[in-house]
Amino acid sequence: MTKTNPGRFFEDFRLGEPLVHATPRTVTVGDAALYLAFTGARHALFSSDAFARASGLAAAPVDPLLVFHLVFGKSVPDISLNAVANLGYADGRFLAAVYPGDTLTATSEVIGLKENSSRKTGVVHVRTTGSNQRGEAVLSYVRWVMVRKRDETAVAPAEQVPALPEAVAARDLVLPAGLDLSRYDFALGGSPHAFDDYRVGERIDHVDGMAVEEAEHQMATRLYQNAAKVHFNQFERAKDPSGRRLVYGGVVISTARALAFNGLENAGLILGINGGRHVNPYFAGATLFAWSEVLDKAALPGRDDVGALRLRLVAAKDRPCADFPDKDAEGRYPPEVVLDFDYWAAVPRR
Amino acid sequence: MTKTNPGRFFEDFRLGEPLVHATPRTVTVGDAALYLAFTGARHALFSSDAFARASGLAAAPVDPLLVFHLVFGKSVPDISLNAVANLGYADGRFLAAVYPGDTLTATSEVIGLKENSSRKTGVVHVRTTGSNQRGEAVLSYVRWVMVRKRDETAVAPAEQVPALPEAVAARDLVLPAGLDLSRYDFALGGSPHAFDDYRVGERIDHVDGMAVEEAEHQMATRLYQNAAKVHFNQFERAKDPSGRRLVYGGVVISTARALAFNGLENAGLILGINGGRHVNPYFAGATLFAWSEVLDKAALPGRDDVGALRLRLVAAKDRPCADFPDKDAEGRYPPEVVLDFDYWAAVPRR
Amino acid sequence: MTKTNPGRFFEDFRLGEPLVHATPRTVTVGDAALYLAFTGARHALFSSDAFARASGLAAAPVDPLLVFHLVFGKSVPDISLNAVANLGYADGRFLAAVYPGDTLTATSEVIGLKENSSRKTGVVHVRTTGSNQRGEAVLSYVRWVMVRKRDETAVAPAEQVPALPEAVAARDLVLPAGLDLSRYDFALGGSPHAFDDYRVGERIDHVDGMAVEEAEHQMATRLYQNAAKVHFNQFERAKDPSGRRLVYGGVVISTARALAFNGLENAGLILGINGGRHVNPYFAGATLFAWSEVLDKAALPGRDDVGALRLRLVAAKDRPCADFPDKDAEGRYPPEVVLDFDYWAAVPRR
């Protein structure tokens, strides 16, 4: 038997199968600093212990997207080593804040299997859960990937596709324990815009642009201990039509989120991920731009200090977003658009 | 009203106006490690808790230049988003040591306004102050920038240009509380050179050269949460005659300072910034070299363990500095010279 | 006298000379995070405080290779600033675990001197010892370098070449205090492979490939405060036939070790370095691949929870290793092979 991990092929997955992912990970202020260096994120809550304490927390929590990337990275060797494509995310909820010193582990359960008509690949749905050292779930989300079959003649398991919500229900959103934004400092936050200042349908061009270098996405993806070959193996990627290493989609999400500070300064705290698609590949060197749309607004039960905005974040490469590049009526995206991401964020009320 | 920050134009500034900058920032050992990775700095005091404790401090403080960059970064969205050029620094004093765990905030006051004769731009002077979580000032400095007018026909405010000292007076320099260099370990420091070994007028070629890559300056500048567009937006920069992202001047200062270890090993503790100019742009990939000149020496009141050297640090690109490239009699710099920086540093006495 | 360090030339070394290296260094979680970002290392013991505690340790120790690089880096200004080549390592032992917060210092003793027949260079052997803030040795190893003479006519010291063991004896290997792998979690470790599953002579292709960018090796080498000019000074390197900055060999070792996770998941804890040679230069951009060979297996005295594997790690550039590229009968390596590294690692027993 070979000692190396060849990764699971489509016919290796079993419905209901629980997967314990390797390499537990203590998150530290070192990770938080690197996340700033990769993204330039400026949300006060994750940047300042003092600001977090004034918001009722023990210290600055780890940016939810960093938590997402770390949990996601753990799942790669068991789920997507032979993935052709990462098709989407849904039903993601951040269930408890993560603080420096916490240790994350990740498990997944296979919740959907569907062979493609070509019989060469199939779609695998998994629900992945990240937990802390006390066994408390900190993040749960579904993702689905297209995975190669090892043997095209292998009999596929019975088809099962999970029902997924179009969006996380606002009542299922969880705020970090202790959070109190009733005395939120908007000057330190970076803008006067509160929950009440955003309206459904509003679109915001985030103006700024940011290039990501090969070294940057590789370092970020390594930090997340995401070992997917496409991000690092240039020798192999040279045979791809693009000839390029593919940038981990999470790097695009985090870069676009950091750009979105300009207009969404006080919406740093992501509570849920409703959906997300990487609609075109992003290669290092191109400049990312982003725009957002307010899809929905929700009061949170029993809270008058904070509400939730449902936001759509669209990122484009080498394409400023003043005119909001978007999919057309048939759902086809312009080639410059690389990301369409739908999430809930907490925003202080005045 | 747009939600995004367009930045202040020249006519938006008011004399005496106090500006509270966004995004308070807890400095951590993660930041300190990244600062080493960006610069290769080797000064023992900032590298070793044990060395710092033997010097009377509680732990290794954060390199003063890292403090400077973090405070500077906060001021960018309010002051220099529409800056044409960062013209200079003056009267900078480090007022208290910053330790990992401290949270920095920054405020600025407009202290000078002068429209240029073209009426298209004006020069804004600000005094920026960085404070810690106890409200103690840790750094204060003046910088002036050339800022575009939004509307050339706008009436400019009355001209006011602050009087600035040519250099910080030695008596105004502040040593970190508790610092005692009377048992300084010169072997661990990296050279036997003490305060008494330097003479006014002495020039030192720092010999070593260091290239800075696009990924490196971008990561550093993001870590400092400095969002100036010129450092990141390659798509936009492609329209500039250079076609290149401009490297944040602070990256040049820190790289040159790290090179200056070779000859100024025991002069790591910067106490004041007398002046500084970025006299030519630096683009990634070029190799930086540096030389220093001892401009002045000063005893410090009541101290026989430490004195202050006033040093001039000159950096050049793709140009070794054995012959000390310098400005000419008319003050014109060779095109390779990128930095002329004047500062005070503490140096142990024997 | 010049203030800058010109480095020692061959005739400057004296047998038995003790060298105290500058710049003590407190290792932090920031360093550990950067090490992950540079390598993508996934060994659970260094990644998770919780996993380390379940293994009897107080917290996740620092990866032994990071300790090696930090100690090595300190020795460069005193030993290899004028080195033509870093010829080899031997008799390396990790003597105590290093935890975040520990401060490393390094000293070396000259233990061998031998002029080359050309009289232009000589080979210097040094034993370098890294110690923590309690004065306990944490690492001891021998390395030898070819160093230029300042003056070819200078009389060389009497020739002395130390006797070095072909490998560290298993009885001399030191496990971290408190380590207990009797309840090792192989699922979190990343594979079911235990000490007993490996056989002498077994070879493992690690499959994965990883490119290293200029920014990445520079940042790593700066973090290690290794100031060797060849890694940073592109202006000078442009005159070399390669025209390229040379990547610090330790970057190659650490990258290859991270790739070796795939097949050696539970062998993260390096106990000794038997030997190592950089047999061809590696330049940024090439994709590294690696394979391993089990050279020996040893029980450890009084331990039934853990044994030691003697492993040979071979790395190649732009050359997958499915066919185990190796030296020929005359000991000549293919041009793609860049590293041949021989070490002991602890592996849990079942």
What chain C holds in terms of domains, given with CATH numbers, is 10-153+166-348 (3.10.129.10)
Residues of chain A contacting residue C50, judged by C-beta atoms under 8 Å apart: 24, 26, 103, 133
Residues A97, A57 contacting (CB under 8 angstroms): yes
> What pLDDT sits at residue A156?
83
Scored b (16 or more CB within 10 A) or e, C315-345 reads bbbebbbeeebbeeeeeebeebbbbbbbbbb
**Between chains, do C43 and A25 touch, taking CB under 8 Å as contact?**
no
* For residue B166, pLDDT beyond 90: yes
Confidence of residue C208 (pLDDT cuts 50, 70, 90): very high
Query: Which residue type, as a one-letter code, is found at position B263?
Result: G
Among C188, C259, C282, C319, the residue to mutate for chain A (most A Cβ within 10 A): C188
- The whole-angstrom separation of Cα C184 and Cα C306 is 10
Strand intervals (E) in chain A: 18-20, 25-26, 83-94, 103-115, 121-131, 137-148, 203-205, 210-211, 269-278, 287-299, 306-317, 337-348
Crossing angle of the two packed helices C29-39 and C214-223, in degrees rounded to 10: 150
Residues B341, B253 contacting (CB under 8 angstroms): yes
Confidence of residue C158 (pLDDT cuts 50, 70, 90): confident
Q: Which among B249, B295, B244, B222 has a CA at the least distance from the CA of B88?
A: B249
Interface pTM, i.e. ipTM: 0.97
C34 at interface of A, judged by CB pairs closer than 8 A: yes
Query: CB C163: neighbour CB atoms within 10 A?
Result: 7
B1 at interface of A, judged by CB pairs closer than 8 A: no
> What pLDDT sits at residue B282?
97
Backbone torsions φ then ψ of A120, nearest 5 degrees: -95, -25
Residues of chain B contacting residue A62, judged by C-beta atoms under 8 Å apart: none
As a residue count, chain A comes to 350
Size of interface B-C (CB pairs under 8 A): 141
Average pLDDT over every residue of C90-96 = 98
Residues contacting A207, CB < 8 A, separation 6+: A262, A263, A320, A322, B4
Adjacent-strand bridge partners of B312: B293, B342
Q: Cα B60 to chain center, whole Å? A: 20
B63 at interface of C, judged by CB pairs closer than 8 A: no
Q: Which residue of A has its CA nearest to C259?
A: A227
Instruction: Quote the Cα angle for C37-C41-C43, to 5°.
Output: 140
Shortest Cα distance, chain C CAs vs residue B55, angstroms: 13
Q: Which residue of B has its CA nearest to C106?
A: B188
Residues contacting B307, CB < 8 A, separation 6+: B195, B196, B297, B298, B299, B300, B346, B347, B349
* For residue B61, pLDDT beyond 60: yes
- Upper half-sphere CA count for residue C51 (Cβ side, 13 Å): 26
- The whole-angstrom separation of Cα B40 and Cα C231 is 12
Four-residue CA torsion sign, B51, B57, B59, B65: negative
Q: Which residue of C has its CA nearest to A229?
A: C208
**Between chains, do A188 and B223 touch, taking CB under 8 Å as contact?**
no
Q: Cα C149 to chain center, whole Å? A: 26
The H or E element that residue C211 is part of is strand C210-211
C190 at interface of A, judged by CB pairs closer than 8 A: yes
Mean pLDDT of chain A: 96
Per-residue pLDDT of chain A (350 residues; tens, 9 = 90+): 589 988 899 999 999 989 999 999 999 999 999 999 999 999 999 999 999 999 999 999 999 999 999 999 999 999 998 888 888 999 999 999 999 999 999 999 999 999 999 999 999 999 999 999 999 999 999 999 999 999 999 888 889 999 999 999 999 999 999 999 999 999 999 999 999 999 999 999 999 999 999 999 999 999 999 999 999 999 999 999 999 999 999 999 999 999 999 999 999 999 999 999 999 999 999 999 999 999 999 999 999 999 999 999 999 999 999 999 999 999 999 999 999 999 999 999 99
Average pLDDT over every residue of C160-181 = 97
C31 at interface of A, judged by CB pairs closer than 8 A: yes
Mean pLDDT of chain C: 96
Residues contacting A122, CB < 8 A, separation 6+: A10, A11, A113, A114, A115, A116, A146, A147, A149, A156
What is chain B's Cα-based Rg? 20
The H or E element that residue C89 is part of is strand C83-94
**Between chains, do C227 and B216 touch, taking CB under 8 Å as contact?**
no
- What is the per-residue pLDDT across B70-91, written as a single tens digit (0 to 9) for each? 999 999 999 998 888 888 999 9
Residues of chain A contacting residue C33, judged by C-beta atoms under 8 Å apart: 28, 30-31, 33-34, 223
Strand, helix or coil for residue B249 = helix
Q: Which residue of A has its CA nearest to B23?
A: A44
- Upper half-sphere CA count for residue C204 (Cβ side, 13 Å): 29
- The whole-angstrom separation of Cα B221 and Cα B215 is 10
- The whole-angstrom separation of Cα C231 and Cα C226 is 9
C223 at interface of B, judged by CB pairs closer than 8 A: yes
Strand intervals (E) in A117-202: 121-131, 137-148
**Between chains, do C209 and A22 touch, taking CB under 8 Å as contact?**
no
Query: Which residue type, as a one-letter code, is found at position C131?
Result: S
Four-residue CA torsion sign, A259, A260, A266, A272: negative
Residues of chain A contacting residue C318, judged by C-beta atoms under 8 Å apart: 235
**Between chains, do C191 and A5 touch, taking CB under 8 Å as contact?**
yes
**Between chains, do C3 and B51 touch, taking CB under 8 Å as contact?**
no
Mean pLDDT of chain B: 96
Residues of chain A contacting residue C320, judged by C-beta atoms under 8 Å apart: 235
* Tokens found for residue C204: 């493992």
* Tokens found for residue C331: 């000991």
- What is the per-residue pLDDT across A327-346, written as a single tens digit (0 to 9) for each? 999 999 999 999 999 999 99
**Between chains, do A23 and C33 touch, taking CB under 8 Å as contact?**
no
* For residue C111, pLDDT beyond 90: yes
Q: What share of chain A is helix, strand, coil (3-state, %, to 5)?
A: 20, 30, 45
Residues of chain C contacting residue A223, judged by C-beta atoms under 8 Å apart: 33, 36-37
Average pLDDT over every residue of C286-292 = 98
Adjacent-strand bridge partners of A93: A140, A272
Crossing angle of the two packed helices B29-39 and B249-259, in degrees rounded to 10: 80
> What pLDDT sits at residue B226?
97
Shortest Cα distance, chain A CAs vs residue B133, angstroms: 7
Return contacts of C53-56, CB within 8 angstroms, 24+ apart. C54/C183, C54/C185, C55/C179, C55/C180, C55/C181, C55/C184, C56/C178, C56/C179, C56/C180, C56/C181
> What pLDDT sits at residue A83?
86
Q: Which among B47, B287, B39, B303 has a CA at the least distance from the CA of B190?
A: B47
Query: CB A116: neighbour CB atoms within 10 A?
Result: 15
- The whole-angstrom separation of Cα C98 and Cα C83 is 29
> What pLDDT sits at residue A7?
87
- What is the per-residue pLDDT across A236-266, written as a single tens digit (0 to 9) for each? 999 999 999 999 999 999 999 999 999 999 9
> What pLDDT sits at residue A155?
87
> What pLDDT sits at residue B1?
55
Q: What share of chain B is helix, strand, coil (3-state, %, to 5)?
A: 20, 30, 45
Q: Which among B236, C328, B62, C200 has a CA at the least distance from the CA of A287?
A: B236
Which of B34, B208, B215 has the CB atom closest to C30's CB atom?
Answer: B34
Residues B39, B258 contacting (CB under 8 angstroms): yes
Query: Which residue type, as a one-letter code, is found at position C321?
Result: C
Average pLDDT over every residue of B223-247 = 96
- The whole-angstrom separation of Cα C121 and Cα C143 is 16
Query: Which residue type, as a one-letter code, is found at position C256?
Result: A
- What is the per-residue pLDDT across C295-328, written as a single tens digit (0 to 9) for each? 999 999 999 999 999 999 999 999 999 999 999 9
Query: CB B328: neighbour CB atoms within 10 A?
Result: 8
Kindly report which listed range (B102-106, B152-156, B188-192, C228-232) carries the lowest average pLDDT score.
Answer: B152-156
> What pLDDT sits at residue A1?
55
Query: Which residue type, as a one-letter code, is found at position B88?
Result: G
**Between chains, do A30 and B28 touch, taking CB under 8 Å as contact?**
yes
* For residue C1, pLDDT beyond 60: no
- The whole-angstrom separation of Cα B83 and Cα B146 is 5
A187 at interface of B, judged by CB pairs closer than 8 A: yes
Residues of chain C contacting residue A227, judged by C-beta atoms under 8 Å apart: 40, 42, 208, 261-262
Residues B296, B310 contacting (CB under 8 angstroms): yes
- What is the per-residue pLDDT across B95-145, written as a single tens digit (0 to 9) for each? 999 999 999 999 999 999 999 999 999 999 999 999 999 999 999 999 999
| Burial zone of B290 (CB within 10 Å; 0-12 exposed, 13-18 middle, 19+ buried) | buried
Query: CB A283: neighbour CB atoms within 10 A?
Result: 17
Residues contacting A77, CB < 8 A, separation 6+: A5, A7, A21, A22, A227, C190
